Every structure is written in C-alpha cells, then in structure tokens.
C-alpha cells in the first residue's frame, strides 16, 4: 500500500543512499597487489557478501532516517460523533398558563420539565421562545442551558409584558421556524410546543400551510397540550405531518415522562467521520534501531579493506 508523506519532497534525497549502496555492491574486489597474490587461496566470495551486507547498513539507516523525516502518514480508524439536534422550546405564557397543575401552575410545571429535559440531552443545542399574542425569543440556540434554567422567574405569565395575554400558536411556530433556519446550519431541527389552549390563527387552512413550511425546512413539531381539554385537531395535524407527535399529560409526573418519551423517539444519532491522517513512525523507528544496533556490532570486525 502506498503511504502518503507530509514532506514528500525529501524523498528525492534517497538517491544519495541508493548511490552508496550501488558503490558497495559494484566496487572492485582487490585493487591492491600483494606479494602473495599467486599463492593458492580460496576466493572468499561468501565473506565478501557478508562484508558488503555490513557496509550496506549505514546507507540503509540513512534511507530509514529520510523516510522518518518525510513524515509517513496512515489513515486512522473512522470515528463517530454525536449528531446535534437543534431544539427550540416554544412555551405559552398566556393568562391560562397560571392555572393550577401539580404543586404549582402549568407554567411552573412546564419549565421544570424542560429543565429536566436539558440534563439528558447533553450535546444538543437549545433555544427558548415565549409566546402569547406576541413572540419573545429568550435565548438563541446554544449548548449552554444555563440561560434557559434562569428564565422561569422572569417570564412567568403574571410578569409577562402587555401583548402576551392571548394564544397565537401559528405566529409562534413561524417565528421558531425562522430562528431554526437562520441558526441551525447542521443537525436535526425540532420544535417542542408547550401550550394549553386553542389558537384561532391556525384555522381556515393556515395550519396546513404552516405544516408544509415546517416540513419543507425539515422541522419536526412535538406538541404538549398541558390542559384537561382535548387537543385541537390543527395541532395534531401539524405534529403528524412534520413527523412529530402530540401529548396530553394529566399531571406533572406525566409531563416529565412526556419529555422522556420525546428523548426516546428522537434519540441522538451518531454520524461517521472520515478517517484522519496520522503519523506512522513505529515501523520505521524499529527498523532504524535494528540497523543501528547491527551496524554498531559490525564495526567490531566486519569492515571492508582493499587488501
């Protein structure tokens, strides 16, 4: 297999040790005439080969050194990482959200369940939007959920500014859609709608139009109807068309389990990453150490002399 190198231009210097190897194996055998040349002696070819091998060790060591300096690379194992889900919480703060639910109000139970949801979706990006007749984007999409955890005291329905007394779900969904399209360049997109009422701006075919826009932008809607009343058909249709679901929890324990169900339905996906190039020194270093040790031993007696 062909190995890539970080500095392939250094490989051109391999001509130097290759030239030395050619010189070792093609040099004259006995250039100096000695008085006993006409004596009957054996050719010593085997010893000549051994000496040539010993003399080849330094050029081979130079070859290994040049390969190491060129920076050999290999492809690492393909890895995976968690695929981010961009989740926009769309929370109703109209006057009806002050109604009793569990130990507090519907709003209190909703925000408490959302904070618990943040704990087991570590790695996802979260945004928070409050709505009534108007829409207020509280936090942008972020993996830091601290801003969402600090929101409940400030945006309670009792403290909401003017223009938040009613419920316009259609306006809120479109506003959340714009946020997700602008800020969520990668990963899945999801809106978690928490409301307790009917929205007049979804009637007259507007719900179908909003559903198509959400689906075209790959946004799924999970709706939590935190009320004893039946879930409006428009909300059911939007969630179903976009690939989400609807829930109608009866108490605060059921509300928490709803978020656990959402977590299981939209489990975090893993995506494969391309294998990255990494240094590949070990075999070259081992070969170099072996050649260095063997060459050092050869210096104690195995060396070529011209006589």
Strand order in the sheet with 125-131: 135-142, 125-131, 85-92, 188-195, 219-225, 245-247
Give the whole-angstrom CA distance, residue 307 versus residue 301. 15
**Angle subtended by helix axes 206-216 and 233-241, to nearest 10:** 20
Determine the straight-line distance between the first and last CA of the chain, rounded to whole angstroms: 44
Average pLDDT, the chain: 82
Give a yes or no: residue 305 inside a domain: no
Whether 91 and 289 have beta carbons less than 8 Å apart is answered as: no
Is residue 303 one of the residues assigned to a domain? Answer: no
Question: Residue 250 pLDDT > 60, yes or no?
Answer: yes
**In terms of domains, do 241 and 181 share one?**
yes
Q: Across residues 227-242, what is the average pLDDT?
A: 90
pLDDT at 82: 54
Same domain, 111 and 68: no
Q: Residues 78-105: pLDDT tens digits?
A: 555 556 688 899 999 998 898 988 788 9
- Ranges 30-44, 72-86, 280-294, most confident: 280-294
Residues 142-155 have a mean pLDDT of 83
The closest of 140, 263, 251, 248 to 194, measured between CA atoms, is 248
- Burial code of 159-193, b = ≥16 C-beta within 10 A, e = fewer? ebeeebebbbbbbbbbbbbebbeeebeebbbbbbb
Q: Which domain holds residue 113?
A: 83-266
User: Which position has the higher pLDDT, 5 or 76?
Assistant: 5
Number of domains observed in the structure of the chain: 2
Q: Do residues 246 and 196 both lie within one domain?
A: yes
Identify the residue whose tokens are 């904070």.
115
Q: Decide if pLDDT at 249 tops 50.
A: yes
Query: Of 6-15, 143-152, 227-236, which range is least confident?
Result: 143-152
Instruction: Specify if 271 maps to a domain.
Output: no
pLDDT at residue number 169: 93
pTM for the whole thing?
0.61
Q: What is the pLDDT of residue 1?
A: 45
**In the structure, what pLDDT confidence band is assigned to residue 150 with cuts at 50, 70 and 90?**
confident
Query: Is 307 among the domain residues?
Result: no
Residues 55 and 156 reside in one and the same domain? no
Q: Is residue 260 part of a domain?
A: yes
What DSSP string runs through 83-140? PPEEEEEEEE-SGGGGSEETTEEHHHHHHHHHHHHHHTTTTSEEEEEEESSSEEEEEE
Clarify whether residues 26 and 152 are in a common domain. Answer: no
**Residue 306 in domain:** no
pLDDT tens, residue by residue, 163-208: 788 889 999 999 999 999 998 877 788 999 999 878 888 988 899 9
> Is residue 21 located within the same domain as residue 152?
no
Q: Is the pLDDT of residue 254 over 80?
A: no
Regarding whether 250 and 178 lie in a shared domain, the answer is yes
Residues 140 and 23 in one domain: no
- My answer on whether 88 and 237 are in the same domain is yes
pLDDT at 143 over 60: yes
In a domain, residue 3? The reply is no
Q: What is the pLDDT of residue 2?
A: 54
CATH code of residue 166 = 3.40.50.410
Altogether, the residues listed in the chain come to a count of: 307
Mean pLDDT in residue range 134-146: 88
pLDDT, residue 295, reads 87
Q: Are residues 44 and 114 in the same domain?
A: no
Indicate whether 225 belongs to any domain. Answer: yes
Do residue 215 and residue 153 come from a single domain?
yes
pLDDT for residue 19 is more than 60: yes
Say yes or no: 50 and 184 in one domain: no
Mean pLDDT of 209-229: 91
């Amino acid at each position: 297999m062909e190995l890539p190198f970080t500095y392939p231009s250094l490989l051109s210097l391999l001509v130097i040790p290759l030239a030395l190897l050619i010189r070792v194996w093609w040099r004259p055998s006995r250039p100096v005439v000695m008085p006993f040349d006409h004596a009957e002696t054996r050719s010593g070819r085997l010893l000549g080969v051994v000496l040539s091998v010993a003399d080849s060790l330094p050029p081979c060591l130079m070859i290994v050194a040049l390969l190491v300096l060129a920076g050999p690379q290999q492809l690492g194992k393909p890895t995976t990482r968690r695929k981010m889900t961009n989740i926009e919480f769309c929370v109703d703060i109209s006057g009806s959200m002050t109604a009793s639910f569990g130990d507090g109000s519907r709003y209190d139970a909703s925000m408490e369940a959302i904070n618990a949801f943040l704990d087991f979706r570590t790695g996802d990006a979260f945004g928070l939007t409050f709505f009534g007749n108007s829409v207020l984007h509280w936090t942008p999409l972020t993996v830091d959920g601290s801003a969402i955890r600090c929101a409940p005291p400030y945006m309670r329905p009792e403290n909401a500014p003017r223009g938040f007394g009613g419920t316009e779900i259609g306006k809120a969904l479109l506003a959340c859609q714009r946020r997700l399209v602008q800020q969520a360049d990668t990963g899945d997109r999801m809106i978690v709608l928490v409301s307790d009422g009917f929205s007049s701006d979804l009637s007259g075919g507007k719900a179908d139009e909003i559903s198509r826009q959400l689906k075209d932008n790959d946004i799924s809607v999970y709706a939590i109807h935190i009320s004893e009343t039946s879930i409006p058909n428009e909300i059911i249709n939007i969630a179903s068309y976009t690939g989400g679901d609807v829930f109608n929890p009866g108490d605060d324990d059921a509300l928490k389990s709803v978020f656990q169900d959402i977590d299981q339905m939209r489990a975090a996906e893993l995506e494969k990453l391309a294998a990255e190039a990494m240094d590949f020194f070990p075999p070259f270093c081992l070969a170099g150490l072996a050649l260095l040790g063997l060459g050092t031993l050869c210096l104690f007696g195995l060396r070529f002399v011209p006589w």
